Structure 1
Amino acid sequence: MMSISVIDGYSYLDRVQFDSYNESEDLWSQIEAYKLRTGHYPEAVLADQIYRTKENRRKCAELGIRLSGPKLGRKQVNQEKAERKIAQMDSRKRNAVEGKFGEGKRFYGMDCIKGKTEHTCKVMIALYFVVLNLAKRLRDFLSQFLDWILILCKFNIFINFGRKNGAIPQLA
């Protein structure tokens, strides 16, 4: 079992364990890790249903953190349009976490881990997440670089590049 966090497209591997355990216990360690990374608590936590225990909901309410998902109890017939829209946006953002697992499996072979020991498997999983984050960093860099190239082309910076006194070279 793995617990990961995705912040601004970057994946953080919080826990890897091969023994079964209750994942809901990981929520507070992940929230505290978020606070260490960013300096503040998150506005909202978009988590699987297993994390939405009464205790976790209570702690989130105390700190002013919105825990995504439906409220406990009976479903409300007259759910407001704003609440439905928030739930839909949370669901869309939540897909980013599942997408990271899919990206790791499709592009980086994360579904073919064949380590002989538990420690080796954990190291291999951690390296997959390092590669995922490096690929994200490279995509961000290339995107920014291409934006600068387009800006330079827009202002015709490259037109006079390599010409003496702005003259167009003649072919004889």
Structure 2
Amino acid sequence: MSKPPQRSLRVIIKTFSVPIWVTSINLFHGVHLPNRLAKRSSEGIQWLEQQREWYTTKEKPKDLIVSIDKRYIRPIVRGKETKRVEFGAKVNTVQIDGINFIENLSFDAFHEGIRLQSSVYQAQSLTHTKTKAIAADNIYVTNANRSYCTKNNIQISFVPKGKPSKDAQQQKQLRQILSKERATGMEGSFGTEKQHYSLDKIKARTQKTETLWICFGIHTANAVRIAKRVKDQKASAKARQHVA
């Protein structure tokens, strides 16, 4: 039996995106495929099975495949006006004195609100200092997080519940300072990392290399910030010496 031409195999592989309903079929029986094509064919058949299951049961399959090349990718609902659903890694970061640290990185969706306590623990482990103030998004505003911060005497940027206390004005000013710091520091660093360190267009092709890409992007930005601070400190010290 003559070996099928390589070109015909490539055409078959590329047509896996066509929604053809199959139950069980071996498209390449007796044909030895290269490892890369064999993996793609396996992923494509599993995708078809998931689509058939979704169509027949009306229930969304677990770990739904949305990319044959990157099976680990999951749709993450963000609720934004321009991008309601995003694809890629979701990262929860902790910023300490302008330096970002990865607290959790996952290609599956997770709720950031449950990561506040672990974020505080990470910050305290890195600095060996008790956390005294936290600025966070509204998604972290939960009763559990409020109770945790109150119990540990941590000032928060959340709007308090109930009647205003005697020092309500001072607390309001502190919340404004924390919120401003988060908006300028944290959000600004996200924009810098995306625009200048290629985190807005990650071109890695595997889960491991994509994770490394994200880590290198964030920590390279950290290294640049630290180097700039060291340079500024040396310049300030030199200026003081000239004045003296």
Q: TM-score range by the shorter chain?
A: 0.7 to 0.9
Deviations 1:6-32 (A, max 9, x none): 111111111111111111121111111
Q: 1:31 to 1:80 in 2, by over 3 A?
A: closer
Taking only aligned residues, the RMSD between alpha carbons, in angstroms, comes to 2.1
CA distance in 1, matches of 2:206, 2:160: 42
- CA shift, 1:80, in A, is 4.3
CA distance in 1, matches of 2:200, 2:155: 33
The answer for the alignment partner of 1:106 in structure 2 is 195
CA contact 1:41–1:65 (8 Å) conserved in 2: no
Deviations 1:58-115 (A, max 9, x none): 1111111122211246x97xx9432332221111111211111011122222211111
Find 2:209's aligned residue among 116, 120, 133. Answer: 120
Query: Which structure has more helix as a fraction of its residues?
Result: 1
CA contact 1:3–1:13 (8 Å) conserved in 2: yes
Q: If the length of structure 1 is used for normalisation, what is the TM-score?
A: 0.79
Amino acid aligned to 1:55: A
Amino acid aligned to 1:85: Q
* Bigger radius of gyration: 2
CA contact 2:92–2:102 (8 Å) conserved in 1: yes
Matched, 1:20 2:85: no
The answer for the alignment partner of 1:91 in structure 2 is 179
Higher relative contact order (CA 8 A, sep 6+): 1
CA distance in 1, matches of 2:177, 2:229: 24
CA contact 2:98–2:186 (8 Å) conserved in 1: no
The answer for the alignment partner of 2:4 in structure 1 is none
The answer for unaligned runs of 5 or more in structure 1 is 156-172
CA distance in 1, matches of 2:146, 2:168: 21
